[in-house]
Copies of this chain bind each other. A is one copy, B any other.
Amino acid sequence: MTLDLSHEIELTPAFHDLDPMVVVWHGHYFKYFELARCALLQRFDYDFPQMHASGYHWPIVDLRAKYLRSAHYQQKLKVRARITEWEHRLRIDYQIRDAETALLLTRAHTIQVAVSVATGEMCYASPAVLLARLGLPTS
């Protein structure tokens, strides 16, 4: 059995995401990644409110994005988010593709670490609650 730790959403860029070149401004993609990430984490009942209730924040500490092609107004896009690391930190990889041609537009990843709400201290290993929610063995 393979664990499916990915999720895909569809979206189309809004007018207010466009810059003077009439393409999506590079900083707005982090909203698209976040929409896919939150939808993915909701599937495991571990989105922002549940994280907080479990005693942890998960701030983003590192991110990278590569823009291969611009996204345009009303272009149908698929944004896929996939969890690729979880033991010490939560790494999520993203791909944005044209929904019709499957052409790759953007590749990115974000890295989050657990921080205790109570102490404000960073955790050097992911807390058991993450692995439990993802359905992974907490060795």
A34 within 8 A of B: yes
Is the CB of A43 closer than 8 A to any CB of chain B? no
Complex contact B73–A26 (CB within 8 A):
no
Chain copies in the assembled complex: 4
Query: A124 in the interface, Cβ–Cβ < 8 Å?
Result: no
Docked Cα-Cα span, A21 to B59, in Å, equals 9
Q: Which of A11-27 contact B (CB under 8 A)?
A: 14-16, 18-23, 25-27
B30 in contact with A27 (CB, 8 Å): yes
Note all chain B residues with C-beta closer than 8 A to A21.
Answer: 57, 59
Most chain B beta-carbon neighbours within 10 Å: one of A14, A30, A68, A70? A30
A and B contact pairs by CB, cutoff 8 A, 22 listed: A14-B34, A14-B35, A15-B19, A16-B25, A16-B27, A16-B30, A18-B19, A19-B19, A20-B22, A20-B48, A21-B59, A26-B59, A26-B63, A27-B27, A27-B31, A27-B34, A30-B30, A61-B67, A62-B67, A63-B64, A63-B65, A64-B64
